[in-house]
Each structure stands twice: as structure tokens, then as C-alpha cells.
Amino acid sequence: MLRWVLAVSLLTTSLAAQTGPLQQDLREQLQRRLDGIASRLDGTLGFAVVDLTSNERVAARLPMQPFPTASTIKLSILYELLKQAEEGKLALNQPARLERRQVAAGSGVLQHLSAPLLSLADHAALMMIVSDNTATNVVIEAVGMANVNARTQAMGMPDILLRRKMMDAAAVKRGDENVASPASLVKSVEVLWRGDGLTKDSRDAGVQILYKVGGAIRGAVPSRVRVASKTGTLEGVRAEAAVVELEGRPFALAAMTTYLRHDPDGERAIGDVADAAFSYFERLALGGAYGRKAP
């Protein structure tokens, strides 16, 4: 996988040199299509789409505006866990019994178990794959909320703010929502996927978890293409971030919705954004400099 990522980076110069009026017109069509999805949504949609070959943001809407993250904040929590494990500050594979005070409602399975014995690595997998809120709170306690925020700030994502544990109703009433902008959220999944600042083993462990997450982006992309993603769901809010490993033109996407009148509309809008982005990048991957698909 790391060799594949390096190969993609080597293509940057040659493919970026092919950008011209034809590609620019296609990009403008993408932006218009995405803006149309946003205009039809009964709610607010923000997104950021990044070409991982050229490292350009090719489309965006409200890219710097903080939105509620729901469970997509767990990307930053996972990164901090992997980083602290590398630094020897905590042990990923040492089992510990779950305390009842750590149990949170909402999504997840741990709240229904009597006395599970799990490692932090196990909690991380549950946090990401089934978005287990109890597992998330265990990981937050282990790494420290302030450390997550310090890390995102140091890595150029200052508007990613972890301000409460999962399902902390009192914090929500105070207005202490977990937030991020689409631009920072898409960067959070990019840095995990690339392994910025991580060893190869840590990076691979994190990405293997993200491959197991479903969602609207995963559903909009052909099954032959691998997707590393995280979803987020709250009342009135839907958010997702992913790297789509399209051969020849991988891309990253974050789409965030809020003020939804009907929650399923947010999922459909995110899926539509992913479908439009995939269509754009697939044509770049297959069409060469002038758009003619190879026979």
C-alpha cells in the first residue's frame, strides 16, 4: 500500500501538466453539479473535494465554515491514539475491564454487555467501524481531549474541536459541540490515509479500520474501488469523510450537512456528492489529456 501511495505522488507533476481548458471546463461542471445538490437539499451542505494526485482542492462549498462533526470527529481521536502509542505513552493491546461509568448511550454494542475486557485497539476498532460511543469515550479518556485538539492545531486543522465526550447532553446544552470545517475534516482523513507523522505499521492499522466503514460515500462508489472512510450521524446532522482509492486518480472528500428537515436527505446528498466526484475523477483517470478513453 505504501508503495502505491508513493507511486501516486510521483504522478503529480506529469498529470498536473495535462491540466488545461478542457479539464478546467470539466471541473467547473463538477462545481455546478455539486452546488445544484446543495440547492436542492432542505438543509445546509458544505463539502471539500481534493485531488490527491495534484493536491488541489477541485470543488468546495462553505469549506472553512465549522459544522457539527457527529462521529467524524473520531478520525482525529484515532490519529491521536495511534500517535501516542508510537510515543510509548499508552499500550494498545493491554486488555482492561470496562467500567460502568464509561458506558454511553446511542450507537454501539458495549452498552449492552455486562463486563467486557477489551484493549484500546479493540475500542478503536469499535469506535470507527460501528461508531460505538462507549468505546469512543474510553479512547478519549486514554488520550486526553486537550491532546486531540493540540494535535489537530499543530497539524494545521485548528477548527477541529473535540469539546465533549459522546452523548454528553449537558455539554450539548452548553453549546460545546464537536465541530470541524469541511476543509479540515477532509484533511483529517487524508493525513490518516497517507500516514503523515505515523510509522507504516500505525498508518496501515488505522487505514485497515477505515476500510471496514460503510456509508453513503462507500455506497456511491463501485465495490471494486477501496474506500477509507468515517461517517457521522446526529439528529439534523449527517457528515462523512473518505479517501476513494480510484486507480490513477485517488481523491479525498468531506461532505457535511446540518439543519436537515429530514435526516435521510442528508445521506442522499452526501451520496450524490460522492457520485459526482467519482464521475469527475474517473473521467480524468481514463481520458488522458484530451478525454478519449483508451480502447
CATH number at residue 216: 3.40.710.10
Coil, helix or strand for 129? helix
Would 143 be classed as within a structural domain?
Answer: yes
Residue where the block lists cell 457539527: 68
Q: What is the predicted pLDDT for the residue at 3?
A: 52
Helix axes 133-143, 145-154, angle to 10 degrees: 80
What pLDDT is stored for residue 84 in this prediction? 98
- CB atoms inside a 10 Å sphere around CB 285: 17
Q: Convert the pLDDT of each residue in 66-108 to its tens digit.
A: 999 999 999 999 999 999 999 999 999 999 988 887 777 777 7
CA 234 to chain centre: 16
Total number of domains in the chain: 1
User: Cα-flanking dihedrals φ and ψ of residue 188, to 5°?
Assistant: -65, -35
Exposure letters 77-87 (e unless 16+ CB within 10 A, then b) = bbbbbbbbbee
Q: Which of 95-109, 127-141, 250-264 is the most confident on average?
A: 250-264
Q: Is residue 107 part of a domain?
A: yes
Segment 164-184 mean pLDDT: 87
Q: Would 66 be classed as within a structural domain?
A: yes
Q: Is the dihedral of CA 187, 109, 209, 155 positive or negative?
A: positive
Cell triple for 222? 463501485
Separation in Å, CA 126 to CA 52, 173, 207: 28, 27, 14
Mean pLDDT, residues 241-268: 98
In a domain, 293, yes or no: no
| Separation CA 147–CA 56 (nearest Å) | 29
- Cross-strand pairs, 179: 68, 161
| Residue 187 in domain | yes
Report if residue 292 sits inside a domain: no
Q: Side chain identity at 64, as an amino acid letter?
A: M
Q: What pLDDT score does 1 carry? A: 54
Tell me how far apart the alpha carbons of residues 141 and 166 are, in angstroms, rounded to a whole number.
11
Is this prediction's pTM over 0.95?
A: no
Residue 104: give the domain boundaries.
2-287
Average pLDDT over residues 2-8: 50
* Nearest Cα residue to 146 out of 169, 163, 128: 163
pLDDT tens sequence across 17-55: 456 899 999 999 999 999 999 999 999 999 999 999 999
In a domain, 206, yes or no: yes
Per-residue cell: 22: 478542457
Residue 281 and residue 119: Cα distance in Å, rounded? 39
Here the cell at position 131 is 461508531
What does residue 26 show for φ and ψ, rounded to 5 degrees? -65, -40
- Provide the mean pLDDT of the chain: 91
Average pLDDT over residues 132-160: 96
